[in-house]
Structure 1
Amino acid sequence: MDLTTPWVAGKKYLVECVAPDAKPEADISLYKDGVDLTGAMSFTTSGSKDKLLNTHAEVTVTALRSDHGRELTCHANNEAVSQPVMTTVTMNVYYPPEPPYIIGLDRDEVKAGRLLVLECVSHGGNPLATLQWTKEGEVLSTTWGEEVVGQKSRNILRLKITPADNQAELSCESANIVSLSPLSITRKITVFFDPEELTLSGSLEAVEGQVLNLSCHASPSNPPVKIRWWLGYKELNNTIVKMEEGENGGMTTTSTVTHWVSREENGLRLTCEAFNNGTHFSKIQAAKLTVYCK
């Protein structure tokens, strides 16, 4: 066999053993890890001198990934030796790695601003796998390390999560030189993020008995925020809420409140409160109400 070129799992190879210049001709046996290789064919040719014979034995072997590191042994024996003459080679078989898996992403929901430390691991393979991280098809990292004793490759990715990562697909691919195609694992992440702005609009001045119309708008967030209104310590419930799609897969929230003012409410604090149960976010905008009496 060619000792310099590794075998590839699944392919067939011809193994030949030659016992030269024996008298009488040698009897050859071939073994893989001590197990007799059946189907071997033997024939003789003339040796280098008269009456000496060369014995050739050939067998076809299908390389298995489990054969890597095993020994092929040839025994040659005749009446002139008390023990068989042996030669041994160690099989070097290339085979693909196992599919990768991800450590460190326990949930698909991640809050913006968090630093994710993710580890992609692929076991097995000869040679060990090369690993790369991608996000939406863009390569993020091709730096991996090999643990020969543990027979695995690892690629550690540090990723600062932003709202733009919402619904992004993170993938890790493993392959080696005999892989037909890369094996991959993909996780789609949902990013929770808070609104950057909360805007209170409308006139905060009115004559008693008039209707006050105010609007509170929260910029995109995921999940969308809820908005509550307060006048002093009293909650105002006469509201209309509208939600619309915004940037990065978030939603804007606009709440409009209608309220008939009374002179007793002059100087009270009007508060718009936005809160998000998904991120435990809360933000307020407040202003003083001015009521003119007739």
Structure 2
Amino acid sequence: MFMSSNAECRYFEIFKSKCLFSGPRFSQEPADQSVVVGERVVLSCVVFNYTGIVQWTKDGLALGIGEDLRAWPRYRVLRILDVGQYNLEITSADLTDDSLYECQATEAALRSRRAKLTVLIPPEGPVIEGSPEILLTAGTSYNLTCVSRGAKPLSTIEWYKDGIIVEGAHTSTGVLADRKRVTTKSFLEIQPVDTDTGRNFTCVASNLAAQLGKRATVTLNVHHPPTVILSIEPRSVLEGERVKFTCQATANPPIMGYRWAKGGVILDGARESVFETTADHSFFTEPVSCLVFNAVGSTNVSILVDVHFGPILVVEPRPVTVDVDSDVTLNCKWSGNPPLTLTWTKKGSSMVLSNSNQLFLKSVSQADAGQYVCKAIVPRIGVGETEVTLTVNGPPIISSEPIQYAVRGEKGEIKCYIASTPPPDKIVWAWKENVWEKERGTLLERYTVEQSRPASQGGAVLSTLTINNVMESDFQSTYNCTAWNVLCLSLSDISFLSIIHVSFSDVVPVDIIRSVFDLDVASVGNINICFMPISLCLKYGVCMFMAVSLSQI
């Protein structure tokens, strides 16, 4: 039976309530220790007041007696009898030394505490799978894998990118067959970009046996489509000037070629990194693009040219025809650079009606009909303008000199101008008992009527009654020019669709008006008015009836 040093006092004296030992006891017992494989370690054991046999056990197995333990060539007992020292020395520690050790004074039946000797093993040099260089594709994620084998305790792995620590790795471990050493794998997901070519990733594996760590490095070779920068010189040009485009590109693997296009149309013959041409206004809206390609893919970039040019008509205004009281929108669109100023005016007037692409006219009348000018000004570059015609449908508008002149015995002409949209369907001349209502022809032997459209009258119809061999009686008549269009046609049995205004320089015989127009007539002074139902007057507008006199010169 073994007894610890302080279990009892076999030999003692009682003096002032103290127990004084006089038998064997451990004054120093082995402690738990760690040793790096290959290094030396000493386990302490000092027995006080003992001269008998002392031995060491390893996991309960006696190692032998004496200083040199022949069965254990790396083990030796360091004995100093004077002080009772029996230390156990282990040289070149290896994994087999990783055990529990106990010092025993057999003759005194003494056992020390059990001491745990832990043998530390540094990891083998880590390995990054795919090293020394990994071929990757830009934009495609990849897991870098670092393997650290045979460490005890397990190793910790850290990652560095060009010397800067990288977080986010995850690990897995596996125990080896000896159940003591561990293999650690670390996985670092990366998203390679084109600029990562040549960058180094390093993994460092460390544990208590290799606190400075062991490292492995891999270099990235990232394949990527070309990275392109498209520049232009000069940045701003006048239309007609030369401009140079430069396509700067880097790629891995190397660039295989260039292709240029304008507005999506391939420019034949442009196959180099530089393209020169003469700029026109189309370069302002149709981008020039440079496509660069290699074995991995292609990259296409484009740029617009800041071309300064004068006004160019983009949307041609179209003539508009509307009825009276309608709302009208006229459209006109110009392009220019720098930004242009746009104005709408009516031809013959300087009043600006609009500064936008549209001119809106509300409830137009026949007075609004005519030419409208859409004008664009690009500062310091140029001016452009275009015209658009507004036609307002309405009853004919007749204009004529109330007194016209002729010479007796010669040919005389009486002119009547009819502005009408739509064009007049019928023009009638009446005087005395005579009525002329054919488009062209001769009435009686001395009278001829002709119609024309003089350019100076803006499209108005000129109806001319020609009198050959003017006689005295011709000066005694009043000549009436009457015109109407579809707006004055009857929808049923009504001869006219509006009141007919009659202006006379002399009284017109009422029977002529009745015979021509089949209307009721009343006279007020020297003005005769043709009457019809007021509801129709308000609905269909006005027809004009003009009477003129022929005076002798």
TM-score normalized with structure 1 length: 0.56
Q: Distance in 2 between matches of 1:285 and 1:118?
A: 37
Partner of 2:45 in structure 1? 120
Which structure 1 residue ranges, 4+ long, deviate > 4 Å from structure 2?
64-67
AA in 1 matched with 2:87: I
Partner of 1:249 in structure 2? 180
Partner of 1:229 in structure 2? 159
Structure 1 residues 175 and 234: alpha-carbon distance in aligned structure 2, compared to 1, 3 A threshold: closer
Q: Distance in 1 between matches of 2:110 and 2:163?
A: 62
Q: Distance in 2 between matches of 1:235 and 1:228?
A: 7
> Whose RCO is larger (CA < 8 A, sep 6+)?
1
Partner of 1:138 in structure 2? 61
TM-score normalized with structure 2 length: 0.31
Aligned residues of 1:192 and 1:279 also touching (Cα < 8 A): no
**How much has 1:212 moved relative to structure 2?**
1.7
CA RMSD of aligned residues (A): 3.0
Aligned residues of 2:194 and 2:223 also touching (Cα < 8 A): yes
Partner of 1:292 in structure 2? 223
Deviations 1:95-152 (A, max 9, x none): 974347336x5x5333333211334222224xx22011122233334215574xx5x6
**How much has 1:219 moved relative to structure 2?**
1.3
Q: Distance in 2 between matches of 1:136 and 1:196?
A: 28
AA in 2 matched with 1:194: P
From 163, 169, 174, the counterpart of 1:239: 169
SS at match of 1:241: strand
Partner of 1:30 in structure 2? none
Deviations 1:243-282 (A, max 9, x none): 3334452433210111111110111112111123564231
Partner of 2:124 in structure 1? 196
Q: Distance in 1 between matches of 2:175 and 2:94?
A: 18
SS at match of 1:264: helix
1:111 and 2:42 equivalent? no
Structure 1 residues 117 and 270: alpha-carbon distance in aligned structure 2, compared to 1, 3 A threshold: same
Aligned residues of 1:133 and 1:171 also touching (Cα < 8 A): yes
Aligned length: 193
**How much has 1:291 moved relative to structure 2?**
0.9
1:101 and 2:24 equivalent? no
SS at match of 1:224: coil
SS at match of 1:109: strand
Q: Distance in 2 between matches of 1:276 and 1:146?
A: 37
SS at match of 2:153: coil
AA in 2 matched with 1:124: N
Q: Distance in 2 between matches of 1:236 and 1:119?
A: 45
Structure 1 residues 154 and 236: alpha-carbon distance in aligned structure 2, compared to 1, 3 A threshold: closer
Gaps of 5+ in 1: 1-63, 68-94
SS at match of 1:280: strand
Gaps of 5+ in 2: 1-9, 14-21, 68-78, 226-553
**How much has 1:188 moved relative to structure 2?**
1.1
Structure 1 residues 248 and 163: alpha-carbon distance in aligned structure 2, compared to 1, 3 A threshold: farther
From 189, 202, 207, the counterpart of 1:271: 202
Q: Distance in 2 between matches of 1:257 and 1:244?
A: 18
Identity %: 22
SS at match of 1:249: coil
From 86, 95, 112, the counterpart of 1:163: 95
AA in 1 matched with 2:145: S
Deviations 1:16-49 (A, max 9, x none): xxxxxxxxxxxxxxxxxxxxxxxxxxxxxxxxxx
Q: Distance in 1 between matches of 2:219 and 2:162?
A: 10
Q: Distance in 2 between matches of 1:141 and 1:196?
A: 35
1:262 and 2:193 equivalent? yes
* Higher normalized helix content (fraction of residues): 2
Deviations 1:198-249 (A, max 9, x none): 1211471111111122211111323322212223244333322113334452
Q: Distance in 2 between matches of 1:142 and 1:248?
A: 31
Aligned residues of 1:96 and 1:175 also touching (Cα < 8 A): no
Structure 1 residues 101 and 224: alpha-carbon distance in aligned structure 2, compared to 1, 3 A threshold: same
Q: Distance in 1 between matches of 2:24 and 2:183?
A: 46
Aligned residues of 2:44 and 2:88 also touching (Cα < 8 A): yes
**How much has 1:65 moved relative to structure 2?**
5.3
AA in 1 matched with 2:123: P
